Structure 1
């Protein structure tokens, strides 16, 4: 779990720092935001694996922020846990209707928070597991940072690894160069779109040694996709 990044959107600095401290002790990488605007910037730049979201924020409510995340194709799959002092059933229903994955009432123990985070991550992992995704004999393990092709190790650089991980967890969808830059490099990194082509070429070259380059497909005029369907 040490590579998982948590975004904490909480306007109370004392609470935010306490949560961040406990999460870092548990091995998470933590990004902090004091309001929804900072939260959106952090989502774009840091690409968190999960968002801890306060209900009452100065510029927008937590449920409104959650709904905006769910409407956006690029952020719709990020799990969200709502943190709030509201404990009424109607409030919980409103929270879940906004698209959140779990709801924790303040005050809460740090052990409970970490356990709930891990439970949500297990439920929302694209492959149903925390650390591993697989496609027709191609296996990517996040924890060990290894890729195996029919049991044989695939030699990938860090950028190619991130790109393959994104592709394997978002199969059969076409992504433009700009979208891949946002998802693989992050929104705050300024890289030319042609850089994507270079790393696609490197990824294909590494996979070609094992016969898996056919999964990384060019869609003329649109971008790239990863698909085992129709690959020959």
Structure 2
């Protein structure tokens, strides 16, 4: 009888330890599965936040201008505001005085400069990131039927390869004439669009009507 009870007791102990071991294995496997799922969710979150897709860059526009009497400046600001573009003023190292701008004086500074095709007045400052721009609007007044020589200085100071250049001018009555074509000869590798003479009194709506009619894609 004792032998039978001993055998039963041993059997119960073996069954008990086997059951405990089985529960421990299930708990470990469940923990491993939970860890794997957590890592998967983390990776998916990182992929959503940092998708391997390059951002599309919009057309970047610069409006550069020279304006001795602030007339051309107003037009340049209309374009820059209408396109949310960057703007740059071409500032001479030696500012022009009223006497310099006297076209009735054969000895005035501007008369001497415009009679010399090789004159290149110095510019104060420069554009450090010209390569970033896709489209350049270049504005200037008409002096003696041409763009001021300081605009020639500007056009010869940068590489405009691959860019689209749009000239515009202001004047007391004369048109753009050959001014844009002569500036184009100072550059290479750029696409020049037909220029436009604008009045200093033109509203932004009037100026932007011309800009929007150029057929350029300014979308971001």
Which category of TM-score, normalised to the shorter sequence, fits these structures?
A: 0.3 to 0.5
- Point out which structure has higher relative CO (alpha carbons under 8 A, 6+ apart): 2
Quick check: which one's strand share is greater? 1
With the length of structure 1 as denominator, give the TM-score of the two structures. 0.37
Q: TM-score, normalised by structure 2?
A: 0.39
Larger radius of gyration: 2
